[in-house]
Amino acid sequence: MFYKRREEYNEVIIPYQGEGITVRPQELAGMGGNEAVAYAAKQANVDVVAAYPITPQTIMVERFSEYVANGEVDTEFVCVESEHSAMSACVGASVTGARVMTSTASQGLALMHEVLYVASSLRCPIVMMVANRALSAPINIHGDHSDMMGSRDCGWIQIYVENPQEAYDWTLQALKIAEDPEISLPASVNLDGFTVSHAMEDLNLLSDGQVKEFLPPRKPVFKVEPENPNTVGAFAMPDYYYEVKRLQEEAMRKVPEVLVKVTKEYEKTSQRKYGIIETFDMDDAETAILSMGSTAGTVRSVVRQLREKGRKVGAVKLWLYRPFPSEELTSAICDLKALAVIDRAMSFGAPYGPLCSDVASILQDCESKPKIFNAMCGLGGRDISSDDIRIMFDEADQIARTGVVRDRIKFVGVRE
């Protein structure tokens, strides 16, 4: 499922008013993405938070720790010595039935890598906020998608947001999706470092009562209790391990259906509409750009400008990256002549970057296969300008006219 963005939907704060939906007044506040997710965690009445500070994620936990210190939440806040320990503590808390959250970025996520697999295999519905940041070396504290793309196959649901309002909304929705008894998998909500994590914008906030109604206390599928001891994560020989992995895959395949159900429930509460992907001006588009995260707003802005000049261009944004939305995406792109796929992470030595590789793998499902190329840009926080987006559209238009892809990967905005 996806929805088409229309001009009457404000991109950030004006509530979407759908048929049969009662509009409720909401509190208007100015927050950055980090503060937005901390506030959502407060309203979600999280039982346990374990985290370690790292730029540009630190403010998430710093702000939440203030809520704990002030007695505004009844949360067990665990101070640990590393991100590896943070995720380990989260796993331990989750298997007892607690609602658990954490956050990290970059090298911190890399240090967690081992335990990410433990969390998904043990079916722990932990929600982790990731302020996406480039990986070293050289040391860089700014935003790209290298960190989470390095863990894209760890068995976590992965959602990417465009702005602080989406960060707030998806935090609440991710908890409900992850904790659904049919899913019971961990989820990461990814927001571009500094561009979203530190950018203050107007937010529409639900009341505590609305959040409580939308997100009731967790009902775990199983939990470890002292009076009912059991073994979790025991050694598995080849005659059992394979089946465990297969069950994880079955749970992951159920995510889109549950996500759609949850987003519909959230729309009734918030008047804001979400889904798996979002399309913009795609009805008659011949060329388009596919993106994730904060870049999507710049892409839409350029689409509007080019549409005024008569060019048939469009935009597609992924909210859900894992599980990969193959069906929804093929429906959106199959009629195109050419598609540019933006990656903000390198997959060294591969034909494409991570996102473009996934897109290329589903083109066999299109009767009329659009030509694609990979627009590599924005690494290490490099600005992705409107001019960069126009370069991508110009390249896509030339491919549409000639049917020839000159370069599989076009490095946009880099000094050669």
Q: Which CATH architecture has domain 278-411?
A: 3-Layer(aba) Sandwich (3.40)
CA dist., res. 147 & res. 191, Å (int):
12
CA 44 to mean position of chain CA atoms = 19
Neighbour order of strands in the sheet with 409-411: 2-5, 277-280, 313-318, 287-292, 338-343, 371-376, 409-411
Terminal Cα-to-Cα distance of the chain (whole angstroms): 41
Orientation angle between helical segments 106-121 and 83-94, nearest 10 degrees:
30
In contact, 276 and 260? CB cutoff 8 Å: yes
Task: Name the residue ranges covered by the structural domains of the chain.
Answer: 26-270, 278-411
369: which DSSP letter?
A: P
Mean pLDDT along residues 142-161: 98
Instruction: Name the nearest CA neighbour of 216 among 180, 246, 163.
Output: 180
CA distance 238 to 223: 25
- Both tokens of 59, joined, read 């403010």
Name the DSSP letter for residue 135. Answer: P
pLDDT of res. 261: 98
pLDDT in tens, 345-356: 999 999 999 999
Of the ranges 27-31, 85-89, 223-227, 311-315, which one carries the lowest mean pLDDT score?
223-227
- For the chain, what is the mean pLDDT? 93
Region 8-19 average pLDDT: 38
pLDDT exceeds 70 at position 2? no
Instruction: Report the alpha-carbon distance of residue 391 to residue 387 in Å, rounded.
Output: 6
DSSP calls for 10-27: -SSSSPP--TT------E
- pLDDT for residue 79: 94
3-state secondary structure of 76: strand
Give the pLDDT mean for 190-206: 97
Q: What is the pLDDT of residue 106?
A: 98
The confidence score (pLDDT) of residue 21 equals 39
Mean of pLDDT values over 169-182 = 98
Q: Is the pTM of this model over 0.85?
A: yes
Q: Which fold, 26-270?
A: Rossmann fold (3.40.50)
Q: Which residues pair with 315 in a beta bridge?
A: 280, 289
The span from the CA of 406 to the CA of 416, in Å, is 17
Domains 26-270 and 278-411 in one fold: yes
Q: Which of 50-54, 83-87, 141-145, 226-230 has the lowest mean pLDDT?
A: 226-230
pLDDT at 3 over 60: no
Q: How confident is the model at residue 173 (pLDDT cuts 50, 70, 90)?
A: very high
Summarised one tens digit per residue, pLDDT across range 376-401 is 999 999 999 999 999 999 999 999 99
pLDDT at position 254 is 98
pLDDT for residue 16 is more than 50 = no
Q: What is the pLDDT of residues 93-140, one digit of tens each?
A: 999 999 999 999 999 999 999 999 999 999 999 999 999 999 999 999
266 neighbors 166 (Cβ within 8 angstroms): no
State residue 24's pLDDT score. 58
**Strand (E) positions, 55-99?**
76-79
Q: Which of 316, 179, 330, 189 is nearest to 255 (CA)?
A: 179
Residue 233: the pLDDT is: 87
Residue 281 to residues 22, 58, 139, 299, Cα–Cα distance (Å) = 28, 37, 39, 11
Note the pLDDT of residue 8. 37
Q: What is the C-alpha separation between 329 and 325, in angstroms, rounded?
A: 6
- pLDDT of 4 reads 42
Q: Contact at 8 Å (CB) between 159 and 31? A: no
Looking at 254-325, list the stretches that DSSP marks H as alpha helix, in order from N- to C-terminal side.
255-270, 295-308
Q: Which residues contact 223 (CB under 8 A, 6 or more apart)?
A: 95, 96, 97
pLDDT at 18 over 60: no
Report the range of poorest mean pLDDT among 60-64, 179-183, 340-344, 367-371. 367-371
Instruction: Count Cβ atoms within 10 A of the Cβ of residue 89 and give its class: 0-12 exposed, 13-18 middle, 19 or more buried.
Output: buried
Residues 6+ apart with CB under 8 A from 177: 157, 183, 187, 255, 258, 259, 262
Could you tell me if 330 and 387 are in contact, meaning their C-beta atoms sit under 8 angstroms apart?
no
